[in-house]
Amino acid sequence: DAGVTQSPTHLIKTRGQQVTLRCSPKSGHDTVSWYQQALGQGPQFIFQYYEEEERQRGNFPDRFSGHQFPNYSSELNVNALLLGDSALYLCASSWGVGLNQPQHFGDGTRLSIL
């Protein structure tokens, strides 16, 4: 089991562009959460998807949106990119929602905005 996989590994964009990041959860997991980790900071929760719906959302603007597919994989979309969006984006998967199940993290996608 490869665990949580994320693509791409690295991405460079310019201000104003749009980006899509992808995540495949660990086998047997049905819940996907996304986190943003700025340099020198801990991960910050963006949102969580379960049963193809956004269930929880952190303090992020509407420029950040997502999607979950029937196979439980997920995408994170960011529109109108700002310099401050440069960060490591982590995907974490778990089984179920509201059960405090341990989250398993991927390696992340490093997004750089020029």
Partner 1 sequence: AQRVTQPEKLLSVFKGAPVELKCNYSYSGSPELFWYVQYSRQRLQLLLRHISRESIKGFTADLNKGETSFHLKKPFAQEEDSAMYYCALSGRLTGANNLFFGTGTRLTVIP
* Residues forming the site for partner 1 (CB under 8 A): 3-4, 31, 33, 35, 40-45, 48, 55-56, 58, 90, 92, 94, 97-108
What are residue 83's phi and psi, to 5 degrees?
-55, -35
Residue closer to partner 1, measured from CB, 44 or 65? 44
Residue closer to partner 1, measured from CB, 66 or 108? 108
87-94 and 31-37 beta bridge pairing: antiparallel
Residue closer to partner 1, measured from CB, 76 or 90? 90
Report in angstroms how near the CB of residue 83 gets to partner 1 at its nearest.
Answer: 21
Contacts of 76 (CB under 8 A, 6+ apart): 20, 21, 22, 23, 34, 46, 64, 65, 66, 89, 91
For residue 8, give both structure tokens.
């791409």
Report in angstroms how near the CB of residue 55 gets to partner 1 at its nearest.
Answer: 7
Report in angstroms how near the CB of residue 42 gets to partner 1 at its nearest.
Answer: 3
- Rounded Cα gap, residues 48 and 42, in angstroms: 17
Report in angstroms how near the CB of residue 89 gets to partner 1 at its nearest.
Answer: 13
